[in-house]
Amino acid sequence: MHTSVVLLLALGAATQARGGSFNQEQIPIPAIQALSNRGQPGEAATLAGGAVSTVLGAADPCARLTTADKIVATLGNTADVIAAAKGLVAAEQNTQVGALPKACADATLPTTPELRGVIPLVDPAVGGAAVENANSAKSLTTPFANTGMSIAQIMAANGFTNISAAATTAKTTPRRARSTKLRARALNLGTCKDATIAFGIQDRKQASFQPTDLTDFNHGSALSIDIIATFICSQLSNKCAAGADAIAACANAQVATVGKTGQAAATAYNSIMAPGGVARRATGSTGLDFGLCTPTMSFVAGRPGRKATESTFLPTDPLVAKGQQDALNPVIIVNRICDQLTNVCNASAAAKTACLAAKANVSPTAKNQSTADTFNAALGF
C-alpha cells in the first residue's frame, strides 16, 4: 500500500509539472505497475515508481531507456513486460512551453533487442510533432532501422529534427550506420593553434562567446555562437592556411551547435575543434573515404509541411542537409549529397566518383523507398 501511495503522489506531482496536460507521459506507468505477477513481490511497483522521474522535464533522456532495460532484466522477457517497457521507451518526456523535446544520443541504448527502434512521442505543440508521434506509434509494432544509431538519430532519420541540446548530454557513440567505420586524423589548423570558443565572457549584461585564442582569432564577444564560429571558420581559410579537413570540421562544428545555447553550444563546437581534435572519417562497406559525412538519403512520409501520405527524400547527414529542403525528386537530393562531398565533407576523389556513378542510376520519377535503398547501398550503407 505504501508503495502505491508514493507512486500516486509522484504521478500527481508530475501532472502538476506540466500544468495539467501531462497525459501521454502517464500512460506507461500503470502498465509497469500492473506487472505485479512478474518478478519478486513489490518489484513492479518499485520500478513503476522509479520510471516516473524519467519522464519529467529535467530527466536525462537516456535514463528512461536504462530503466526500460531494467524492467525487462528484473521482471523477465515476456510479452507483457516487453509491451510495458516499450511503452516507457515511447512515452513523451515532459517538455516546458517553448522548449524542444529531449532525445537520447547514446547509440547503445536501449540494450534489450526488443526495445530497439522504438522512438518516443513528443509534445503535440512542438513543430513536426504530428510526424514524430505517428512514427512513434508505428515503431511500437514495426521498429525503425536502428543498428549503430541512437534514438535521436533514428528520430532525425525519419523526419523529426526538433530535438534539444539534451540529446547530446548523454554518453555519445559514433552516429554512423551499421556498415560505417570511423578513422581519426589530427586536424590541420595551419599556422593557428586553438580554434575553440570560450563561453562565459562577462563584458556584456549576459554571458557571451568569444574565440579562446585572441591572437589568431581577434574578435570581440558575441551573444550568438554562430557569429564567433563563422569568424573562426573564415580565418581558418583566409589567415591560417588550414587544411581542408579542419575547414570541413569547422563547418561540421557549426552544425553541431544548432539548437544549443550557452556552454552546451560551446562544448558541442569544441568537441570537434579542440586542440589535437580529430577529423572523423566515414567509410561504408566499400571502404571509400566520405570524410565527415554519411552520404545517404531517407524516404519519409509526412515531413513538416507535407501531407501525412506524401513521402519525400532528404539527406540523413546534418552537415549534408544543412539548408536543404526535402524533395519529391530524388535527383535533387542526390545532387546535394554529391556536391557536399566536395564542398564540406572533405571526401576522397574515389568517394566523389562513386557518388556520381550512383547518381547516374537514380531516376527522377522513381519516388519510392527502393531508390533510397539502392543509392545508399551503392555507396556501402
**pLDDT given for residue 231 in this prediction:** 92
Which portions of the chain are predicted below pLDDT 50? Answer: 1-26, 165-184, 276-279
**pLDDT given for residue 8 in this prediction:** 39
Q: Rounded to two decimals, what is the model's pTM?
A: 0.43
**pLDDT given for residue 281 in this prediction:** 56
Are 177 and 296 in contact, with CB atoms under 8 Å apart?
Answer: yes
